[in-house]
Structure formats: C-alpha cells, structure tokens
Amino acid sequence: MDQLRGTLTLLGERPLGRRGPRVTALGLGCAPLGNLYRAIDDESATAVVDAAWEAGIRFFDTAPLYGNGLSERRVGAALARRPRKDFVLCTKVGRLLQSPEAGAHVDTIFADAPRLEPVYAYSRDSVLRSIEESLSRLGLDHIDVVHVHDPDNHEQEALTGAFPTLIELREQGVISAVGCGMNQWQMLDRFVQRVDLDCILLAGRYTLLDRSGADVLLPRCVEREVGVVIGGVFNSGLLADPIVNSTFDYGPAPESIRDKARGLAGVCSARGVSIVAAAVQFALRHEAVSSVVVGAQTVAELEIDVGAAVAPLPADLWVDL
C-alpha cells in the first residue's frame, strides 16, 4: 500500500447532502468484512481497514446484516485506535438479529457468520434497539449516518416508523445524517420526495452496466440537495472482470448482460485502461455523487480499488463507453 499512501487526498472530500458530514470521495463498503461469500479472519479484516486508512479513506459503511453483526464488530475494533472525529461511520436499521428456533435453517450469503436470523423490523422501538445493539457491537460512542436498509416490502412501515425516529435522533444530535440504502431507485425517489433525507445509498443502479438511477433519481437528489453514495459499482463482480466473473446482482448474469459487460471491457482494453478504473470513476463523475463505496476482503483487492479511483483515464473514454 506504500505506493498509494495518501493518494486519495487528491480526490478530496464532498458534502453528504446539505446537512450531512463531509466524506471522502472513496469509502470502504464493509459487507466483505462480514465474510461475504467466503470467510476471512479478524486479522485480515483489520488489515483491510488499516490499508484503507493509509490510503486516505475516512468513510466506512457497514450494517447489522453484514455477517450477522460480524462486520460491525470488526470495523469497530479496527477503528477504535483512530481519533473518532477523523472518520465518518455509517450503519443501518431495518433488520434485528435474533436467535433462530432450534434446528431451523438460516439462509445467508455470509460464510461462517454467527448463527443469527436477520428479521425485518422498521418500528420506532426496533430502530432504537437496532442502534443500541450496533453501538454495542461497534464499541464506539456514536454513529454518524444511519440508513433505513432495504425497506422494499415495508415502505409504509419505514415512512411511519423508521424515518420519523431517525429524524428525531438527528434533531437531538444523536446522529448526524438520515438516509436510506436500497438496490432499487424507484422507492428511493419516493422517499427523497416525501422524507427530509440527508443522503441515500444507491447500490447497483448507477454503474456502467445499469444506469437506471440516472434519469430521475440523481437529478432529484441534486435538486433536493440530498447526498448520494453509490455502491455496487461492479454489479457484484461482473464489471470487475467480465471474462472470468459471471455474477450480476448477487446471482448468475444473463448472457445478454455478460455480452454487454464484455463489450464495455473491450472498449476499455482498446484504450489501454482498466474497466475497474472506468467503473469506479464513472460513478464518481456525477454531480450528485458524494462518495463511492468499494469493498475488499484483502489488502491486494483494496489496492486495486484505490488505484482505480486515481488512475488517469482519457477524457473521451466516456463517449466511447
């Protein structure tokens, strides 16, 4: 990481909406640190956070769902040695971790995670309990940004329970910013219109492959001064290497999507640039975007992400893409 130490300072910080804290243009998405798809140990997770810090990342995004609390615990432990005022921490509400019934099967994409069952919960009491439990796992004294997490089938509950509770906590100074994180743009657009949000986390819907969030949601966020964090810029792996990877949005990629990804990779290859760099910088270019969060399970993966964010790209590449 030595060759990349501090290079992200070139990208500077951006405001997370009109009220939110300033965040680094590149953030660390911490789902992989919760053993997403494969297990890593605590030391490897700490090494990734440390490497992110050395590179200049000061924005960290986690959630109770990620490894059933494992990500929060690892992120909190790794950041405990850092001055609290020097970083911005985001977590989420909307799922409470409960012990499953004896013998019950629990589906999860997180390897070797604690045997807990994430249960959707968006009421006031659930939100307050979730934040209290997150603070305990993190071992930190406060959380900066709290997103309502994946309320796809719970829109009304989020509107009447979770959002008003978080806004009350913001007004009391308990948290700094209120947001919502989803893999779809349509409901996020409704929330931006109806809720006094500071920011949103849009995953997978503003990428080189899927730009569906661009026409309506992102301009609305500019108009309302709502900060946008972009996640999933590789669409869960396909854009990182369309030749080797075949995963799109957490499942097998349709052949038409794979063909489109290979075509984008071909354009980049012909110009002598990495599609990884193009994927990261494509999202960073939009005026609505405050930060792009990228994930890594190893220091080597993080080095690729950081290098991608600062790699020089031809100005006319975007026309070709």
Give me the residue label for tokens 């006031």.
124
**Is-catalytic flag, 37?**
no
CA distances from 114 to 65, 100, 224, 274 (A): 11, 11, 40, 37
Q: Could you tell me how far CA 41 lies from the centroid of its own chain? A: 21
Q: Which of 66, 120, 122, 250 is catalytic?
A: 66
Q: Could you tell me how far CA 276 lies from the centroid of its own chain? A: 17
User: Helix (H, G, I), strand (E, B), or coil: what is residue 217?
Assistant: helix
Q: Are 185 and 217 in contact (CB under 8 A)?
A: yes
Give me the residue label for tokens 């290979």.
262
β-pair type (26-29, 289-294): parallel
From CA 304, how far away is CA 321, in angstroms rounded?
A: 21
Q: Are 134 and 141 in contact (CB under 8 A)?
A: no
User: Helix (H, G, I), strand (E, B), or coil: what is residue 261?
Assistant: helix
Give me the residue label for tokens 């993080």.
302
Strand partners, 188: none
Strands in 121-168 per DSSP E: 145-149
Residue 136's φ and ψ, nearest 5 degrees, are -65, -45
Rg (CA), the chain: 19
CA distances from 73 to 23, 88, 137, 158, 299 (A): 22, 16, 5, 26, 19
- Which residues are marked as active site? 66
